């Protein structure tokens, strides 16, 4: 058995903990089964956004009456560029780690066999402090026949070298929206199967309705739809629906949520508590119920975005290696959906405020009523929620550059947190941010 000062499970945001400890002379082990860099770099936000930019360009070309025509899509080249960028960055991280003697990299699947003890290959390793940053993976529903077909999950969909003619997507969340935008804008026929009656159901309902209204203009969406069976013959998927109808497609993508990797890591052997969905329970200091074992990132299920994990790193380091503990502050952590239209949000939704019984005011502004709205030939909705004293409770945007505009609200909420932070500012006319400011003036 080999003993370390620090064990980090996962090579995404957890690598910052490993670097911090190693630079201060602590012996460190990093356990990572897959390519280094974590989900965001290898299977998530980085490769998907590179692909989506190609879709954005293709969609833009089709607007504004400019006489141009897309004669051919070099789909393989687009995907190859993504793979080269991602694989290059990942291999660079691995090379840098292997060039030194510390951290020690165990590039293989690890499995806990005790509170701070892990089996990695033929070795057993333990550490005084353990950081579980093992992430999540796609959740695959138990649809009859599905497991016997070559369906795509979100990881495989980012590496597909041949463009599908018809892609059926099961799921109505942000990954479905982003990948439908990518494939659809490049010419693939896209059919989306949604169990409910709206896309992006976790967003503010008014924003989700607006998004759905726009998205259905571009893609076929079947609501209140469940899949009863899937089969695959002669390179064609046959998809049976709950209403007795059937669909045929050359590719099938499953994006019905994600599940934590606590089962694969056998976290139960550590004595660390998990919730009913398998996410690790932590307190405000990112500590588990086992002394010296910390967890953060997607595997704890709190605002599962890479920027959340990046923020949690500093708290994990301070709370593990210094005497003064500081609780994580999750206030004003935003998110975005990089589809078309884009969606950005921060803070509470209107539905959450109603459920909590909070008194609030609403300000709305449509992009079409601004100078830039006419120039872009697009519309969208910006929505602001504030209490009676003018404190910002939530901001939600659907439309062009929502992923950028939402940062103005994030900064305002972090600064003084009031509507006046935006309304007292002088905005450049007719720049796009005027649209968001109008929503604040409408409070």
Domain boundaries, the chain: 2-138+259-321, 146-256, 341-441
For residue 440, pLDDT beyond 70: yes
Q: Give the residue from 164, 131, 180 showing the smallest Cα distance to 282.
A: 131
> For the segment 384-417, what is each residue's pLDDT rounded down to a tens digit?
999 999 999 999 999 999 999 999 999 999 998 8
pLDDT at position 402, please? 98
Residue 218 has which token pair?
């571009």
* Average pLDDT value over all residues in the chain: 94
pLDDT at position 95, please? 84
Q: Judge whether 166 counts as a catalytic residue.
A: no
pLDDT at position 40, please? 72
> For the segment 264-275, what is each residue's pLDDT rounded down to a tens digit?
999 999 999 999
Residue % of the chain over a pLDDT of 90: 81
> For the segment 28-47, what is each residue's pLDDT rounded down to a tens digit?
999 999 888 877 767 678 88
Is the Cβ–Cβ distance between 278 and 114 less than 8 Å? no
10 band by pLDDT with thresholds 50, 70 and 90: very high
pLDDT at position 66, please? 61
Residue 194 has which token pair?
């949604």
Could you please state the CATH topology (level 3) that the domain comprising 341-441 is classified under: Enolase-like; domain 1 (3.30.390)
Q: Give the residue from 172, 159, 150 showing the smallest Cα distance to 220.
A: 172
* pTM of the predicted model as reported, rounded to 2 decimal places: 0.92
- Residues 146-256: name the CATH superfamily: FAD/NAD(P)-binding domain (3.50.50.60)
127 band by pLDDT with thresholds 50, 70 and 90: very high
More confident residue, 287 or 68: 287
Gap between the Cα atoms of 97 and 276, Å rounded? 36
Residues 6+ apart with CB under 8 A from 371: 429, 430, 434
- Residues 2-138+259-321: name the CATH superfamily: FAD/NAD(P)-binding domain (3.50.50.60)
pLDDT at position 216, please? 97
pLDDT at position 82, please? 80
pLDDT at position 54, please? 85
135 band by pLDDT with thresholds 50, 70 and 90: very high
Q: What is the 3-state secondary structure (H, E, C) of the chain?
A: CEEEEEEEECCCCHHHHHHHHHHCCCCEEEECCCCCCHHHHHHCHHHHHHHHHHHHHHHHHCCCCCCCCCCCCCHHHHHHHHHHHHHHHHHHHHHHHHHCCCCEEECCCEEEEECCEEEECCEEEEEEEEEECCCEEECCCCCCCHHHCCCECHHHHCCCCCCCCEEEEECCCHHHHHHHHHHHHCCCEEEEECCCCCCCCCCCHHHHHHHHHHHCCCCEEECCCCEEEEEEECCEEEEEECCCCEEEECEEEECCCEEECCCCCCHHHHCCCECCCCCECCCCCCECCCCCEEECCHHHCCCCCHHHHHHHHHHHHHHHHCCCCCCCCCCCCCEEECCCCCEEEEECCHHHHHHHCCCCEEEEEEHHHCHHHHHHCCCCEEEEEECCCCEEEEEEEECCCHHHHHHHHHHHHHHCCECHHHHCCCCCCCCCCHHHHHHHHCC
Q: What is the mean pLDDT of residues 340-344?
A: 97
Which candidate in 166, 396, 407, 429 is catalytic? 429
Q: What is the mean pLDDT of residues 338-345?
A: 97
For residue 201, pLDDT beyond 70: yes
246 band by pLDDT with thresholds 50, 70 and 90: very high
pLDDT at position 46, please? 84
> For the segment 58-77, what is each residue's pLDDT rounded down to a tens digit?
887 766 556 666 667 888 88
Is the Cβ–Cβ distance between 157 and 179 less than 8 Å? yes
pLDDT at position 83, please? 82
Same topology, domains 2-138+259-321 and 146-256? Answer is yes
């Amino acid at each position: 058995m080999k003993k370390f000062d620090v064990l980090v499970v996962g090579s995404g945001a957890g690598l910052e903990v490993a670097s911090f400890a190693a630079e201060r002379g602590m012996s460190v082990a990093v356990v990572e089964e897959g390519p280094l860099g974590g989900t965001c770099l290898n299977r998530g936000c980085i490769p998907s956004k590179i692909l989506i930019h190609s879709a954005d360009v293709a969609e833009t070309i089709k607007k504004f009456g400019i006489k141009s025509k897309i004669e051919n899509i070099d789909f393989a080249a687009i995907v190859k560029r993504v793979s080269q960028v991602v694989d290059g960055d990942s291999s660079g991280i691995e090379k840098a780690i292997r060039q030194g003697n510390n951290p020690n990299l165990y590039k293989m699947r690890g499995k806990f066999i005790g509170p701070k003890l892990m089996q990695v290959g033929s070795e057993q390793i333990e550490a005084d402090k353990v950081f579980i940053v093992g992430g999540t993976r796609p959740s695959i529903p138990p649809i009859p026949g599905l497991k016997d077909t070559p369906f795509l999950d979100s990881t495989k969909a980012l590496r597909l070298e041949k463009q599908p003619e018809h892609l059926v997507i099961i799921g109505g969340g942000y990954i479905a929206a982003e990948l439908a935008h990518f494939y659809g804008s490049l010419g693939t026929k896209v059919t989306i199967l949604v169990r409910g009656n709206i896309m992006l159901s976790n967003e503010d309902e008014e924003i989700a309705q607006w998004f759905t209204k726009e998205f259905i203009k571009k893609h076929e969406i079947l609501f209140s739809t469940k899949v009863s069976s899937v089969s695959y013959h002669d390179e064609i998927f046959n998809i049976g629906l709950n209403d007795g109808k059937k669909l045929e497609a050359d590719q099938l993508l499953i994006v019905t949520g994600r599940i934590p990797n606590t089962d694969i890591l056998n976290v139960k052997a550590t004595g660390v508590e998990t919730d009913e969905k398998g996410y690790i329970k932590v307190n405000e200091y990112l500590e588990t119920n086992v002394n010296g074992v910390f967890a953060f990132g997607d595997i704890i299920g709190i605002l599962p975005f890479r920027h959340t994990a990046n923020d949690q790193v500093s708290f994990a380091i301070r709370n593990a290696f210094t005497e003064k503990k500081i609780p994580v502050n999750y206030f004003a952590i935003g998110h975005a959906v990089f589809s078309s239209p884009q969606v950005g949000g921060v803070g509470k939704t209107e539905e959450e405020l109603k459920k909590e019984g909070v008194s609030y005011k609403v300000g709305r502004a449509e992009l079409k009523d601004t100078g830039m709205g006419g120039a872009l030939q697009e519309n969208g909705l910006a929505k602001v929620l504030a209490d009676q004293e003018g404190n910002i409770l939530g901001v939600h945007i659907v439309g062009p550059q929502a992923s950028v505009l939402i940062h103005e609200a994030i900064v305002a909420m972090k600064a003084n947190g009031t509507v006046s932070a935006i309304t007292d500012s002088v905005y450049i006319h007719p720049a796009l941010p005027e649209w968001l400011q109008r929503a604040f003036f409408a409070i």
